[in-house]
Amino acid sequence: MADWVDVAPYAEFPPGAVRSVNVEGAQVAVFNLDGTCYAIEDVCTHDGGVLTGGAVEGDEVICPRHGARFCIRTGKVLGPPAYEDVAVFAVRVEGGIVQVRDTRWDERGF
């Protein structure tokens, strides 16, 4: 099972904030949307560029390179040129700290 990785104290991670953190080799973008934190892989499935630095509109992040859109809540691709979803990561606030974990291996039974 993967370990939880600290992102930031929740008090220092206000609504609208975005941070990128390495979770066991995967770059993960963590977003605070209206007080709730979400985490998706920080990689555009179109060309491998990072999503952090892209505009956030509602619950969508727009890739800064070519404009692909992804839902921050679900990882679903919402607009081309990307056609594949991004991975979603578990998020929690524990002891006042925002944490993320890569559960993909857990789901596969490894």
Q: How far is residue 41's CA from residue 49's CA, in Å, rounded to a whole number?
A: 11
Which of 13 and 109 is assigned the larger pLDDT?
Answer: 13
Distance of CA 104 to the CA centre of its chain: 14
**pLDDT value of residue 110:** 46
Helix, strand, or coil (residue 106)? helix
Question: What's the whole-model pTM score?
Answer: 0.91
Radius of gyration of the chain (CA): 13
Domains along the chain with CATH numbers: 5-108 (2.102.10.10)
- Find the mean pLDDT for residues 19-34: 94
**Residue 110 has which token pair?**
């490894």
- Find the mean pLDDT for residues 88-101: 97
**% of the chain exceeding 70 in pLDDT:** 95
Q: How far is residue 107's CA from residue 1's CA, in Å, rounded to a whole number?
A: 10
In this model, does residue 109 exceed pLDDT 60?
no
